[in-house]
Amino acid sequence: MPDGQGRGIVLRVQRDYSDGAEGLAKAIRKADPSYDPKKDRDLRVDDCPDCPRTPSSDSNCCVLWTLWSVILLGLRFLIPDIVYGVRWSAVKMMGSIKSHASQELAVLKAELAALKQQKPAAP
């Protein structure tokens, strides 16, 4: 038990261990009359028996982190290629759409010129 200056106060000294574990337990019980052995934690048992912590889940955690790291590293190298590929495809599609639209426009201009040359019928 610490005193006000940070030193411990000795309540009982026993120079031998002839009583064994039972004698030690009795001494502890005498020192604290409110001692309840039912409240003692069993350190051999996990604090949270319902928790899903098992040794295999810890090892799976490392595998998952490694897998995510590899995936993200791969994406880091592939994203520029994907962006340039999408851009190249978009440029090709826009070129195709423009050429098709200009062909249609040329046809419509030709039809308009033909219509302008025809004279409307007089009433």
Backbone φ, ψ for residue 67 (5° rounding):
-60, -45
Average pLDDT, the chain: 78
0.85 exceeded by pTM: no
The count of residues in the chain is 123
Residue holding tokens 């062909």?
103
Give the Cα separation of 85 and 70 in Å (integer): 22
Quick one: pLDDT band at residue 57, thresholds 50, 70, 90?
A: low
pLDDT in tens, 71-82: 999 888 888 888
Nearest to 39 by CA among 27, 23, 28: 28
Residue % of the chain over a pLDDT of 70:
68
Q: Which amino acid, 21?
A: A
Token pair belonging to 83: 């962006």
Quick one: pLDDT band at residue 5, thresholds 50, 70, 90?
A: low
